[in-house]
Amino acid sequence: MAAEPAPISFARGAPSLDIIDVEGLKSAADRAFTDDPAGSFAYGTSVGYLPLRSWIAERHGVAENQVLVTNGSMQADAFLFSTLVGAGDAVIVERPSYDRTLGSLRSLGADLHAVDIEPDGVSVDGVRAVLDSGVTPTLAHLIPNFHNPAGYSLSADKRTQLVALARERGFTIFEDDPYVELRFTGDRLPTMFEQSDGEVVYASSFSKTVCPGIRVGYLVGSTELIGKVAALATSTYISPSMVSQSIVNAFVRGGSYETSIETVKAALAERARVLSEGLRAELPEVEFVDPEGGYFLWLTFPEGTDGDALFDACAQRGLAVVKGSDFLLDDARHHLRLAYSGVTTSQISEGVTRLAEAYRSL
C-alpha cells in the first residue's frame, strides 16, 4: 500500500514555530517576572496591564484611557460587538470577511449587509449603495491591511472616503487591523482611526507579531466607549491575563519586537512569492492578487468550480485548505483561502502541486 502523503496545511492563519522568537519570549518572561512579580501575578485591572497599555497608547498617539488590552483581539471584537450591536441592528461587512467576525455578529442577531471588496479594498460605491437603500448601519466592520481572507489592502484614498462617509452618515467604522505590521512591499498607509474624530474604533493584536498563543490584543476608541467596554470586561473576567501582558510588555520594550517583525515579514515575503509563482505556473486559470503583506491569498477558480468537491479532493491528497464559502454569506462556491504563514517554502511548492492535481481531478 502506498504511504499517505505527509499533510500540508494552507488552512491555519497562524505562524509556523520557526518564525516565533522563542528565546526573546523566554528572556522577556524572565524580565517581566523579575522586575514586576506583583503586577504579573495579581488579578490586575480590566483595562489590561498598565505599562503595556501605556506603550500602546503612546504608539497610537492617544490617551491611556482610550486603550483596553484584551485576551487576543477576538476578545476585543466580542466586547465591542456586545457593546454596540443589538439584535436587528444593521452592520456592514466585507464580502468576503473573516468567518469568526461573521459568526459573532450573526450570534448577536445583527442584520448583515455584505459589500464586495476589490483589490484596493471594500467598494466605497457599494457602501454608499447600502446607505442609499435606506439602511442605517450601526457599524461597518473593515479589515484594512492584508485582508483575511482576501489578502487585499484598502487604498489611502478609500480610507479617507470611508471616514468622511461615516462622519456624514453617522455610523461607526470598526477598523480590525491585526496584520498592519506585516507589510513586506509598498508604503505603510495612514489608518482610518488616525483620520477620524470619534467615528472609528481600532483593534490590533500581538498574535501576528509576537505569537498567537500569548493571546494579547487591544482596542482603541473614545474614552467613553472604552469605559463602557471596560465595565463589560470587569464583569466578564475581572481582568485579562496579566502574565501574558507583562511578557508582551517586556518583549516590546526590550527591542525584540522590531526584530521579530523583521523575521516574520522576511519569511512571509518569501512564502508569498513561492506560492504565487507556483500557482501561476501550475494553475494559470486561477485568479488572485499578489498580497503586499500578511498571511493570505484568495483564489478565484473559474465560475462553476465546485469548492466543496475541490476541498474534498485536496483533503484526499493530504492538503488542508479553507473553503471560500466559509467567508461568505451567499452561496458562491468557486473560491478558496490559502494561508502561507504556517508552511515552509518546500511545503508550499508541494502543496501547489497537490492543489493543481486536485483541481484537474474534478
Ligand X SMILES: Cc1ncc(COP(=O)(O)O)c(C=O)c1O
- Which chain residues interact with ligand X by CB under 6 A? 13, 72-74, 98, 143, 148, 176, 178, 205, 207, 212, 217
| Nearer Cβ to ligand X (158/354) | 158
Give the shortest CB-5-to-ligand X separation in angstroms: 27
Give the shortest CB-37-to-ligand X separation in angstroms: 26
Give the shortest CB-148-to-ligand X separation in angstroms: 4
| Nearer Cβ to ligand X (116/277) | 116
Sign of the alpha-carbon dihedral angle for 154, 155, 160, 162? negative
Strand order in the sheet with 200-205: 67-70, 217-220, 200-205, 172-176, 139-142, 90-95, 111-118, 121-122
φ and ψ of 184, to 5 deg? -110, -10
Cell, residue 234: 470587569
Element (H, E) at 299: strand 296-300
| Nearer Cβ to ligand X (40/73) | 73
Cell, residue 297: 491569498
| Nearer Cβ to ligand X (178/351) | 178
Q: Are 293 and 183 in contact (CB under 8 A)?
A: yes
| Nearer Cβ to ligand X (226/313) | 226
Give the shortest CB-160-to-ligand X separation in angstroms: 22
Give the shortest CB-141-to-ligand X separation in angstroms: 9
Place of cell 517581566: 32
CA 113, CA 269: separation in Å to the nearest integer?
33
| Nearer Cβ to ligand X (74/233) | 74
| Nearer Cβ to ligand X (210/283) | 210
Give the shortest CB-35-to-ligand X separation in angstroms: 25
Strand order in the sheet with 335-339: 296-300, 335-339, 322-323
Nearest residue to ligand X, using CB? 72
CA 147, CA 144: separation in Å to the nearest integer?
6
Element (H, E) at 226: helix 223-237
Give the shortest CB-27-to-ligand X separation in angstroms: 23
Give the shortest CB-94-to-ligand X separation in angstroms: 10
φ and ψ of 203, to 5 deg? -130, 145
Q: Strand 139-142 and strand 172-176: pairing?
A: parallel
| Nearer Cβ to ligand X (68/74) | 74
Q: Where do the H-state alpha helices sit in the chain?
A: 22-35, 37-41, 50-60, 72-84, 99-107, 124-132, 156-169, 223-237, 242-253, 256-282, 307-316, 345-360
CA 209, CA 104: separation in Å to the nearest integer?
24
